[in-house]
């Protein structure tokens, strides 16, 4: 049964990522700008003093302008560093987007070793996650490493996923106790409060 779900997830991940990769650059930019506006209109975002963002990579929703604006709002902004040995994400505060980040694990921008400023998960008010596919219940398919599942399992404040509408599916196949849902999904079309 779990193998069957795993196969279905892999197929769905591949299909949705192909759709996302197929979005023209300019369209991704426009949709990301709408997602940016929707995120910043969110009461949970306005109330958060510290926000953990992902740094966008490949065809993900573009987060650079969101991170830069959050910094101008004097929020504490943290981004992930990958602890491959323990298969987990740690967070580091960034102050200067351009100066603090450099390509890290898998080429994803991460804080440079001499710019790491650790932030404990319990100090973060809102976690913003990437992913491949999502459904209205907040279930998500990540990229297969389980890094965000592990993080969301121990995070008990609001979690928000950023995605293009093309990444929304009818139902994400899940394994109980392993796959962690998010509370809110933001697309260019609006804000989805997940029905868990």
pLDDT interval class at 173 (50, 70, 90): confident
pLDDT digits (tens, 9 = 90+) for 93-119: 999 999 999 998 888 999 999 999 999
Mean pLDDT of 32-59: 97
The structure tokens listed for 89 are 């994400």
Q: Is the pTM of this model over 0.85?
A: yes
Decide if pLDDT at 1 tops 80: no
Q: Answer with the residue of higher pLDDT: 182 or 177.
A: 182
Mean pLDDT of 20-37: 98
Domain count, the chain: 1
For 23, which DSSP code?
A: S
**135 is in which domain, residue-wise?**
2-193
The mean pLDDT of the chain is 93
Give the length of the chain: 196
CATH number for the domain spanning 17: value is: 3.40.50.10420
Decide if pLDDT at 145 tops 70: yes
**What ranges in the chain are assigned the alpha helix state H?**
2-21, 25-40, 43-47, 64-72, 97-100, 147-153
Mean pLDDT of 131-154: 91
Closest CA to 143 of 39, 12, 35: 12
pLDDT interval class at 150 (50, 70, 90): confident
pLDDT value at residue 196 = 63
State the DSSP string of 170-182. Answer: S-----TTTPPP-
CA distances from 141 to 109, 111, 181 (A): 21, 25, 9
């Amino acid at each position: 049964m779990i193998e069957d779900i795993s196969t279905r997830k892999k197929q769905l991940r591949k299909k949705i990522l192909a759709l996302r990769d197929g979005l023209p650059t300019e369209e991704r930019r426009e949709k990301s700008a709408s997602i940016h506006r929707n995120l910043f209109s969110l009461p949970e975002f306005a109330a958060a003093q510290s926000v953990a963002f992902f740094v966008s990579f490949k065809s993900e929703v573009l987060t650079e302008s969101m991170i830069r604006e959050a910094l101008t709002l004097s929020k504490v902004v943290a981004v992930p560093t990958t602890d491959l040995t323990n298969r987990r994400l740690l967070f580091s505060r960034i102050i200067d987007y351009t100066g603090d980040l450099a390509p890290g694990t898998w080429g994803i921008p991460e804080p440079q070793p001499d710019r790491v400023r650790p932030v404990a998960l319990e100090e973060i008010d809102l976690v913003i996650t990437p992913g491949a596919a999502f459904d209205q219940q907040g279930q998500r398919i990540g990229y297969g490493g389980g890094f965000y599942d592990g993080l969301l399992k121990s995070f008990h404040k609001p979690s928000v996923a950023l995605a293009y509408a093309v990444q929304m599916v009818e139902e994400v196949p899940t394994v109980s106790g392993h796959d962690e849902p998010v509370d809110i999904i933001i697309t260019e079309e609006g804000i989805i409060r997940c029905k868990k």
